[in-house]
Structure 1
Amino acid sequence: MVTETSYTLISIRLNEQEFHNIFDKYYVALCLFANQYTENEETSADIVQDSFAKLWQIRNDFFYLHQVKAFLYTAVRNKALNELEHSKVVFEYAQKIIEKKKDSFFHDAVVEEETYRILAEAIDKLPNQMKAIMQLAMEGKKNAEIAERLNVSVETVHTLKKMAYKKLRVYLKEYYYFLILFYMSSQ
């Protein structure tokens, strides 16, 4: 029940009906107020609803309408500022993750390119037919495709590939631990 006193203070008994009246009267204004901070209507509405929920929990602490209004505007402002701070933390965290992924992508690209370069150099040391077979295999060609392209039998491709792998193990022996360490540092 709202009554006017001689000091123009409006006393209030915050029962359910009066709470609904205050909600109806201030909800839209408080949403607009919150939106000045958050610039997001849904977030602003959530903040205002949370503030009204808090008001209902502590409704017996208020004797005058101006106290209720002051509480609501202060609560909305504080929750909006907290939301901004939270959003800032989330944004900064997301930026850190993006930077890590950029660094990881760069590192992975370097590892891949360096590995490819070392392997290509080793393949270049192979005899011509083995070299051609391994280059086509590096392109993802199957043995039958390689055989058809080089005009040799599939068995010849298979045999020369086996020989090439043995030679490549010898050529790449000195890089073996380097490549494993390089790979492990990217994990």
Structure 2
Amino acid sequence: MYLSTDHIIKLTQGDESVFNEIYDGMFHSLCLFGYKMISQEDVVSDVVQEVFVELWKKREQFTTPIKTRAYLYTAVRNKILTHIRNKRTVSLEGTPRDEEDVNNYITAEETYRLISEAVKHLPEQTGRVIELALNGYGNPEIAENLNVSINTVKTLKKNGYAKLRVLLKDQVFVLIILAEIFK
């Protein structure tokens, strides 16, 4: 979800529909982030919901989209670490160890989210080709999976990538990653 300054202004004013939009748009990403640290879906889901309750209670404190997004990820991380420390039943092996690891994970998660959102705006067949390519399928596998020719896959990939460049023109880091994927 693209979190704008307008979203934050409306959130601080108590607009519940904007809060619900933020919740719907970010819940999945925050859960995925939490699952990297602990593989208990019910715990992660509860933690993310608690963080959103806190966001609503503290909504007047948030002034920018970046601070709001950082708060959400940091709060999820801290609550899960607290849960792990209190239960002492889960290994910390997959847990990001320092701020750089957390920032790298958040960047990767946000990049994936931005690309996924942009792919939804592509024509259906083109979107399927791009999704399969992003999941590591080669042209022959995509062609077989979608029952089309390899040339059709190449054309749809080329057109899809061109449309993604337009859709993501303001997201330079995403474009760099896409360029590497579609070399």
| TM-score of the alignment, normalized to the shorter chain, above 0.5 | no
Q: Which has the higher contact order (CA 8 A, sep 6+)?
A: 2
The TM-score, its normalising length taken from structure 2, stands at 0.42
More helix by share: 1
The TM-score, its normalising length taken from structure 1, stands at 0.41
Larger Rg: 1
